[in-house]
Amino acid sequence: MRTLRSLLILLVLALLAAPASAVAPALIEKLALGEYDDKIAALNELLGSGDESALDFLQALHDGSVQVAGGKQVLIVKDNAGIDAASGKSLSPLPPEREDVMVNNRLRRELASAIAGLRLASSKRDTRLAAAKALQNGADEEMLPLVSRALAKESDPDIKNLLTLLAATMQLQSKDAATRLAAAKALASSSNPNTKALLLAVLEKKGDAYAEPDAAVRAEAQSSLKALESRLSTGDRFGQLFTGASLGSILLLAALGLAITYGLMGVINMAHGELIMVGAYSTYVVQNLFRAQAPDLFDWYLAAAVPAAFATAALVGMALERSVIRFLYGRPLETLLATWGISLILIQAARTLFGAQNVQVENPVWMSGGITILSNIVLPYNRIVIIVFAFAVLLAVWLLLTRTRLGLFVRAVTQNRAMASCVGVPTARVDTWAFGLGSGIAGLAGCALSQIGNVGPDLGQSYIVDSFMVVVLGGVGQLAGTVYAALGLGMANKFLEGLSGAVLAKIAILAFIIVFIQKRPQGLFALKGRMAEG
């Protein structure tokens, strides 16, 4: 009864009011103060009327910026400024006794589709396109009149396509067989995974009878389903390629530094993982500095974090080289043990300085979210950025090694230390610089890893075995070895993961490397000559 009365009131108001500056107070009250069922009922009313003026309020409700003062007055609060939702008047000062209006998932979902539905009638093309895309995730049948109305008024071809598909998904359940047939046919051009479920439901068999009585509709649905599935599987394959490339780029960043130091000094640095951790923690520190000192520039903290991570890790690496590693020259096995000891110290130092808990590193805004391809694959921005970053680092290292003096010395010492020393290359200093370079690259890897995973004292431990495998597989003759090994292992790992799960994939990769090393102990790209002798 009460619902009907509100509906009448609303209709009257809608008829009488000119472009309203606010929504009916009764509806606002219901949306803010009522039980969840009442809220949804009020929402459906708004939808039915297509009243655009409610958009501000609905958006605020969705974002959680609606508060109730004194149990009665409904406010929209943004940045300490309040507007009364019913009258539209701004309020200052804000009343002190305010309570948040809590929204749960179900309400948020309804709000999201209601907002999108109302936005379909906007005058701006971009808003309409965004709204149409948002509705692809599933809209209820109640939206059909709204969608049909928008479709009738729409002139833009992209939006028209989306709306047609949307209408088709809703019309699949229509009472009229001809409508259903047309809908099934229209859905052939869809690439929305949600549509697959709808088409499958049409073809479902309950006992002996089909859910869909009309055979023509079923045939149409079948062919649409086939088209949809082939489109989806292309998307899946592309997604798999991307995940492989993403993992490969991370392995590349992690292993590049190790390859350089191992190639140069024959030292496997067991503390390499901890240098990655040092880079990640420096990113955290830079992030905190930005948050405290320059919150407006927070989104660009990475620009400072990247050089900071490189510098800190490089300094730590050089310190290690000068203090411990250089004295173990010529004793690779001892170096292994000593660097393992260093890694334990670094881990415990991180725990003492920053606590045993993980620390929070936030993605800047431009790295959150992803781009949607083919409507079923989302490529996260942070992973795209990391792939690009990895190749940028690779390019920089290659330029350094081939075009600079230091690079020349590094290559000389790697190929024949004794001869290089005779010719006048300061091998000790080259060692230090090269170790610094390798450690710095590890720091960069840490900076990248902080954006996609945990930052904690044990960060390095999870990447050390992988880095070793890449170096062992790729050999230390050229950078290309590391690149091929990293990308190859990444792709292979992801491909196997799809087949048999993450653990077995990893075990298979390890087994493969162990066997590969028997056949070709020096790796893919090895130095020619007698360097291979341990």
Q: How near is the Cβ of 514 to other proteins at its closest, in Å?
A: 5
Measured from the CB atom, is 24 or 119 closer to other proteins? Answer: 119
Return the residues of window 435-464 that contact other proteins according to CB under 8 A: 452-456, 458, 462
Q: Which of 179, 189, 382, 421 binds other proteins (CB under 8 A)?
A: 382
Regarding 534 and contact with other proteins (CB under 8 A), the answer is yes
Q: Contact between 105 and other proteins (CB under 8 A)?
A: yes
* Nearest-angstrom CA–CA distance, 323 and 318: 8
Locate 124 and state its tokens: 């701006």
Residue number, 411 or 506, with CB nearest to other proteins: 506
Q: With binding defined as CB under 8 A, does residue 95 bind other proteins?
A: no
Q: Calculate ∠ Cα 302-307-312, nearest 5°.
A: 115
Would you say 132 and 159 are in contact if contact means Cβ atoms under 8 Å apart?
yes
Q: How far is the CB of 35 from other proteins (least distance, A)?
A: 10
Q: At its nearest, how many Å lie between other proteins and the CB of residue 493?
A: 9
Query: Which is closer to other proteins, CB of 213 or CB of 521?
Result: 521
The sign one gets for the Cα dihedral 384, 387, 389, 391 is negative
Among 210, 329, 354, 398, binds other proteins (CB under 8 A): 354
d(CA 442, CA 178): 64
Q: Rounded distance, CA 245 to CA 324, Å? A: 36
How far, CA to CA in Å, does 487 sit from each of 166, 346, 474, 492? Answer: 40, 29, 11, 8
Q: How many residues bind other proteins (CB under 8 A)?
A: 97
Distance in angstroms (rounded) separating the CA atoms of residues 119 and 50 = 9
Q: Does 363 bind other proteins (CB under 8 A)?
A: yes
Query: In the window 317-346, what residues touch other proteins (CB under 8 A)?
Result: 324, 327-328, 331-338, 340-345
Q: Kindly state the smallest distance separating residue 402's Cβ from other proteins, in Å.
A: 27
Q: In the numeric block, which tokens belong to residue 261?
A: 């130091």
Query: Of the two residues 10 and 187, which places its CB atom closer to other proteins in the complex?
Result: 187
- Region for 93 from its dihedrals, namely left if φ exceeds 0, alpha if ψ lies in -120 to 50, beta otherwise: beta
Question: Does 92 contact other proteins by CB under 8 A?
Answer: no
Binding mask 390-429 for other proteins (x = CB under 8 A): ----------------------------------------
At closest approach, how far in Å is the CB of 89 from other proteins? 27
Q: Which two tokens stand for residue 402?
A: 């081939």
205-206 and 209-210 as β-strands: parallel, antiparallel, unpaired? antiparallel
* Nearest residue (CB) to other proteins, 391 versus 516: 516
What b/e string do you get for 467-506 counting C-beta neighbours within 10 Å, with b at 16 or more? bbbbbbbbbbbbbebbbbbbbbbbbbbbebbeeeeeeebb
**Binders of other proteins in range 126-145 (CB under 8 A):** 137-138
Q: Is 197 in the site for other proteins (CB under 8 A)?
A: yes
Per the CB < 8 A criterion, the answer to whether 60 and 66 are in contact is yes
Q: Which is nearer to other proteins, 53 or 240 (CB)?
A: 240
Among 236, 299, 374, 416, binds other proteins (CB under 8 A): 236
Cα separation of 437 and 226, whole Å?
Answer: 53
Residue position matching structure tokens 């990113």:
283
Site for other proteins in 244-263 (CB under 8 A): 246-247
Report the residue from 48, 239, 307, 407 that binds other proteins according to the rule CB under 8 A.
239
